[in-house]
Amino acid sequence: MPQEQTTAPEQRTLVTIPEEQARRAGTYSVLAALLRDSPDAELLDFIAQLEVDAGKSRHELALALSMLSLASRHSETEALRDEYHALFIGLGRGELVPYGSWYQTGFLMEKPLGVLRADLARLGFERSESVHEPEDHIAALFEVMAMLIQEGLPTEKQRQFFNNHIGNWADAFFNDLSEAKSAVFYKSVARLGAAFMSLESGYLSLLD
């Protein structure tokens, strides 16, 4: 599972949460780990062993998770490092730019990042000194959502963070990832991300 990158873990207080909420947090964490860096053997093994009976469920999330689990069983870490590099790093930049400011304005380090930093400060998150990327990297945002759920933060505050910093661009990102020329394994990541974003949007909108 990924290590949270926005703030030191000892500064946060986790609580016991219902199984449904734990699944939400776990999905955010898995996606964050896959989008933060190329998966290592431990993460691939964890995903490969996830038991998903997609045959009994036609829900897109179950099907997507089943496909990701299958892809993990047939992937090698070295090939995934190359794929991740081509997608997100490249020579100068990768095929995709996984930052909220980029998707919302066409530029990095723009106003959405400033708004995000103010919201993170209000929520008590501090930037880790070991992290040099802007906070609006999609993996960092998913890490924050996982932590908010694990801390038992009121769903209304979760919804506000999701709507303000994830829901307004993540669909476009996962669509681009699904169509990226360099994506092979990451097409299954894109499918899971898109399905989960759809489910999260519907779940959080029930508060309206």
Q: Which of 5-9, 87-91, 174-178 has the highest mean pLDDT?
A: 174-178
- In angstroms, what is the C-alpha Rg of the chain? 16
**Residues pairing with 137 in the sheet:** 99
Residue holding tokens 């880790």? 128
Which of 116, 131, 112 shows the shortest CA–CA distance to 7?
131
Domain boundaries, the chain: 17-205
| pLDDT confidence bin for 179, thresholds 50/70/90 | very high
Q: 53: pLDDT confidence band, cut at 50, 70 and 90?
A: low
152 three-class SS:
coil
* Residue 79 three-state SS: helix
Higher pLDDT, 76 or 15: 76
Judge whether residue 148 has pLDDT over 80.
yes
Residue 68 sits at φ, ψ, to 5 deg, of: -65, -40
Tens-place pLDDT, residues 118-138: 999 999 998 877 777 899 999
Which of the two residues, 3 and 105, has the higher pLDDT score? 105
Q: What is the mean pLDDT of residues 129-158?
A: 93
Q: Measure the CA–CA gap between 77 and 161, rounded to whole angstroms.
A: 33
pLDDT at 177: 98
CATH superfamily placement of domain 17-205: TorD-like (1.10.3480.10)
In this structure, the number of other CB atoms found within 10 A of the CB of residue 110 comes to 17
Q: Is the pLDDT of residue 8 over 70?
A: no
Rounded mean pLDDT, 170-174: 98
Q: What are phi and psi of 137, to 5 degrees?
A: -60, 140
Mean pLDDT, range 128-157, rounded to an integer: 92
Q: Please tell me the predicted confidence (pLDDT) of residue 23.
A: 94
